Amino acid sequence: MRFAKMHGLGNDYVYVDCFTEQVADPTDLAVRISNRHFGVGSDGLILIHPSDVADARMQMFNADGSEAQMCGNGIRCLAKYVHDHGLVEPGGAFSVPGKGTFDASLRIETGRGILTLGLRRGADGRVEQVCVNMGQPILAGPDIPVALPVDPVVNEPMEIEGTTWTMT
């Protein structure tokens, strides 16, 4: 099976082009390929499928095999892969408030709906920057879900193995 490993801002995923490859058991593959000691090592597996309602469809599995709806860093890498490998023809220019105009766009079907991504291409035509609007953040504890006694969950201290982290 052919795959690519890509990373964005600390998240790394294994990508499989399901325009040409078939994955019989993505849950099992996600667990095996994500293992950092015996596999490729990653945060999970992202399958790139054709879509009837968008340019492509993203199907994402965490390293434990559970299916997830979305990952912002994951979808940005997916957009670069889809464009640079010529899987679909990108749409026209796309303006993002506060970020300017991107010279191309892609619509990606995800577990959270269809998202439009802006692409900036370099002189060689390959994607150098991707922007996606993830929508309003979910901050209500029960909706995240997280078991904290506060609502909304914003800059809440959380101790893990002796280190205190803040969570939003």
Total count of domains within the chain: 2
Query: Do 144 and 119 have their domain in common?
Result: no
Cα angle 77-7-94, degrees, rounded to a multiple of 5:
25
In a shared domain, residues 36 and 116: yes
Same domain, 10 and 80: yes
Please report the pLDDT score of residue 160 as a whole number: 86
- Is residue 90 located within the same domain as residue 168? no
Q: Based on the domain organization, do 118 and 61 belong to the same domain?
A: yes
Residues 51/59, Cβ–Cβ less than 8 Å: no
Residues 145 and 115 in one domain: no
CA dist., res. 25 & res. 45, Å (int): 12
> How much is the pLDDT for 145?
73
Range(s) of the domain holding residue 146: 138-168
Report the pLDDT value the prediction gives residue 166, as an integer from 0 to 100. Answer: 86
**Do 49 and 69 share a structural domain?**
yes
Residues 149 and 112 reside in one and the same domain: no
Residues 39 and 114 both lie in one domain: yes
Mean pLDDT by groups of 10 residues along the chain of 168 residues: 94 97 98 95 98 98 96 97 97 88 96 95 97 82 73 83 86
Residues contacting 103, CB < 8 A, separation 6+: 93, 119, 120, 121
